[in-house]
């Protein structure tokens, strides 16, 4: 294999200048810390395991990966140049395969490929790295899902005259974990959404989310006669038999005062009138989950105060069923009984009893499966047993179903229908089945954005749908993920939510190795930005950290009622993005009361001044500005609001027109 002329020239120039130059191939480095959207990065072949080829040209060296992927490298100023040819692998298998490549050095963008598609010739790059300490190689998706986005860093090499490059974990700045939000006072405050959806005749369960010193006494005016309120717990149960809208005034009182709030109960066909909120076990316990851990999570949701600000679902993810094989023998066994019923593994002795335990606390229980024969972790799926499973889930008492594509891809490959029809098929089937059950079950489509799911998710019975890959593999890219998710804002509305994946702060397990929980790899500043972005997007708020290791800072980020109110606003709008430059941007979200939520964000590595101008936000006249994280009124601003935003941080405010 011969070096291309322009690459050879740059190497010769360094030799002629007297520098001792060594070639270090990217594929020879330890790629274990390189993050890839799906599958492990591969040295000297495509991520599929096939020979690496771009635009009809085959390459012997390089790294094959999958959008979205990130590779952090410590250069320590020892690398002189980085050279490669990049493009979509010829074996991607679908014309929709599209990616973009980016190289960032010490927080500065050094090179961007632009959009690249299947069949295009590779794009060469030859970058001067003198003095660069840290380099990041990024592959982004092209905005049409990541299913076929196989990307190659072909002939990727460093020309080195000093320290040899090392692949590293993403550095985590040591920002101080400052608690910004005041603790709730002793008096009662009723939180949560102002609208709640249910279906006629199905079991009704709602715990009034209320902060304040207990005991609290609850009352409700104009509650439908078929519903009953437990005055000591604030849990509403029963059924609403007739379709319609019921305006109910809730009141909470304790020794320190009383609070009232009006909520509209809408009995009809639509659930999840605001984005669902809760906890999911995946990014903490992975294949270690047990019945006992689920019960403990429900108890902590109450004890920690999470339920008092609106978190209500306690959701099991993968690995509760039996598997054909697994390292834990208690998770191995027959997948179904003689009647075809799904068999939980021995860590889950009684699924109905578990759901009942969660319900007794006024919370809701969620479950997981796949339309394929096996789940992503290799446990029993629902293929050819969909109706039986839907009935079983309802009989057990579960209120939420995450339906994960996984091995259904093998079924879809054999299906002669058009591609979009294949994407819809398993979700339409299960969506129809769930709607027939005598239970309100929120349906989450987990298929990573394939086929522009945001355009048809509601059509097949979904209430929320993943718009991209697993966020656990790209926590260093929360800003990019949010910006991409916000592009689909037209499809966000009550009952239909774009889902960019779970909130992963506090203690979480490493997604690549399904490891034991440790401190999350993003700074406290980024954690505030994370929650702000998700609330502005009207995203489902599912925490997926360790409920047994919640600390004051993590609860402060998760449980700010004024921030959560932005997510739960009944208008259901995802914020629109106003770009400022490559690293800063503003997001603005219209709220039901006529005010606006505005986020000022900085994805760069240095603090930056960011400005929201009223004219760009569609506002006229002076606006009252409130800092939602600190619960502070900042004053009256005539035409704009500016803030110095820390590196990889955000500022979240609410704007209200000044009264005459």
Residue 475 CA, chain-centre distance (Å), reads 9
**404, 440, 476, 567: which is the annotated catalytic residue?**
404
- Which pLDDT belongs to residue 340? 96
**Residue 470 is a catalytic residue:** yes
Residues 520 and 512: their CA atoms lie apart, in Å, by: 13
Please say whether the beta carbons of 624 and 635 come within 8 A. yes
Give me the phi and psi of 20, to 5 degrees please.
Answer: -85, 110
Give me the phi and psi of 422, to 5 degrees please.
Answer: -70, -35
- Which pLDDT belongs to residue 145? 65
Q: What parts of the chain have a pLDDT lower than 50?
A: 1-3, 5-7, 9-17
- Which pLDDT belongs to residue 210? 98
pLDDT digits (tens, 9 = 90+) for 42-80: 999 998 889 999 999 999 999 999 887 889 999 999 999
- Which pLDDT belongs to residue 311? 98
**Residue 126 is a catalytic residue:** no
Domains and CATH numbers, the chain: 5-168 (2.60.120.1060), 189-267 (2.60.40.10), 277-567 (3.20.20.70), 576-657 (2.60.40.1180)
Strand order in the sheet with 257-267: 195-198, 257-267, 244-254, 217-221
Cis peptide before 560 (omega within 30 of 0): no
The dihedral through the CA atoms of 157, 163, 164, 167 has a sign that is negative
pLDDT digits (tens, 9 = 90+) for 283-342: 999 999 999 999 999 999 999 999 999 999 999 999 999 999 999 999 999 999 999 999
Interhelix angle 351-359/386-396, rounded to 10 degrees, is: 50
| 111 Cβ contact list (under 8 Å, min separation 6) | 101, 102, 103, 125, 127
**144, 175, 299, 470: which is the annotated catalytic residue?**
470
Please say whether the beta carbons of 399 and 442 come within 8 A. yes
SS3 content of the chain, % helix, strand, coil (to 5): 20, 35, 45
pLDDT digits (tens, 9 = 90+) for 400-410: 999 999 999 99
- Global pTM reads 0.84
Query: Which ranges in 487-636 belong to alpha helices (H)?
Result: 524-536, 552-558, 561-567, 614-617
- Which pLDDT belongs to residue 37? 60
- Which pLDDT belongs to residue 143? 66
Q: What is the torsion angle, in degrees rounded to the nearest 10, for the CA atoms of residue 100, residue 101, residue 102 and residue 103? A: 180
pLDDT digits (tens, 9 = 90+) for 622-638: 999 999 999 999 999 99
């Amino acid at each position: 294999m011969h070096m291309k002329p322009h690459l050879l020239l740059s190497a010769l120039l360094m030799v002629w200048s007297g520098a001792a130059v060594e070639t270090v191939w990217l594929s020879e480095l330890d790629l274990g810390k390189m993050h890839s959207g799906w599958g492990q990065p591969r040295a000297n072949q495509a991520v599929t395991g096939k020979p690496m080829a771009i635009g009809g040209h085959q390459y012997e060296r390089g790294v094959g990966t999958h959008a979205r992927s990130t590779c952090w490298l410590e250069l320590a100023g020892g690398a002189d140049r980085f050279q490669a040819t990049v493009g979509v692998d010829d074996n991607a298998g679908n014309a929709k395969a599209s990616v973009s490549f980016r190289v960032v050095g010490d927080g500065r963008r050094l090179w961007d490929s632009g959009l690249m598609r299947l069949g295009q010739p590779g794009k060469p790059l030859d970058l001067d790295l003198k003095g660069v300490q840290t380099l990041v190689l990024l592959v982004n998706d092209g905005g049409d899902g990541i299913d076929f986005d196989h990307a190659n860093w072909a002939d990727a090499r460093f020309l080195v005259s000093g320290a040899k490059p090392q692949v590293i974990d993403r550095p985590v700045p040591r920002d101080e974990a400052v608690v910004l939000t005041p603790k709730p006072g002793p008096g009662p405050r009723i939180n949560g959404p102002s609208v709640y959806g249910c279906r006629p005749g199905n079991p009704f369960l709602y715990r009034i989310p209320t902060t304040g010193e207990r005991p609290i006494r609850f009352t409700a005016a104009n509650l439908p006669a078929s519903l009953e309120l437990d005055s000591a717990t604030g849990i509403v149960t029963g059924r609403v038999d007739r379709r319609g809208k019921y305006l109910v005034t809730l009141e909470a009182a304790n020794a320190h005062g009383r609070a009232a709030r009006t909520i509209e109960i809408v009995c009809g066909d639509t659930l999840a009138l605001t984005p669902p909120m809760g906890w999911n076990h995946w990014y903490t316990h992975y294949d270690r989950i047990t019945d006992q851990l689920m019960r403990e999570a429900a108890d902590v949701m109450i004890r920690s105060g999470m339920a008092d600000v609106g978190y209500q679902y306690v959701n099991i993810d993968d690995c509760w069923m039996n598997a054909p094989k697994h390292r834990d023998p208690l998770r191995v066994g027959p997948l179904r009984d003689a009647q075809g019923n799904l068999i939980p593994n021995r860590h889950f002795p009684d699924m109905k009893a578990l759901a009942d335990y969660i319900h007794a606390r006024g919370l809701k229980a969620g479950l997981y499966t796949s339309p394929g024969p096996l789940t992503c972790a290799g446990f029993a799926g629902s293929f050819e047993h969909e109706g039986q499973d839907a009935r079983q889930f309802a009989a057990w008492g579960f209120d939420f179903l995450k339906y994960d594509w996984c091995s259904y891809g093998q079924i879809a490959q054999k299906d002669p229908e058009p591609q979009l029809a294949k994407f819809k098929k398993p979700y339409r089937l299960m969506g129809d089945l769930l709607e027939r059950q005598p239970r309100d079950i929120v349906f989450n489509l987990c298929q990573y954005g394939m086929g522009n799911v945001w355009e048809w998710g509601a059509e097949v019975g979904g209430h929320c749908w993943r718009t991209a890959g697993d966020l656990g593999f790209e926590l260093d890219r929360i800003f990019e993920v949010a910006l991409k998710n916000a592009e689909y804002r037209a499809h966000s509305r009550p009952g239909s939510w774009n889902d960019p994946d779970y909130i992963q702060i506090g203690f979480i397990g490493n997604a690549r190795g399904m490891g034991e929980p440790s401190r999350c790899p993003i700074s406290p500043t980024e954690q505030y930005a994370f929650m702000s972005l998700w609330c502005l997007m009207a995203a489902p708020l599912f925490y997926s950290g360790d409920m047994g290791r919640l600390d004051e800072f993590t609860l402060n980020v998760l449980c700010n009622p004024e921030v959560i109110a932005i997510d739960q606003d009944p208008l259901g709008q995802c914020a629109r993005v106003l770009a400022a430059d490559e690293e800063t941007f503003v997001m603005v979200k219209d709220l039901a009361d006529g005010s606006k939520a505005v986020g000022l964000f900085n994805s760069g590595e240095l603090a930056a001044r960011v400005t929201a101008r009223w004219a760009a936000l569609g506002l006229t006249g002076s606006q009252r500005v409130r800092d939602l994280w600190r619960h502070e009124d900042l004053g009256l601003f005539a035409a704009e609001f500016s803030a110095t935003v820390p590196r990889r941080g955000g500022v979240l405010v609410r704007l209200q027109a000044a009264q005459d």
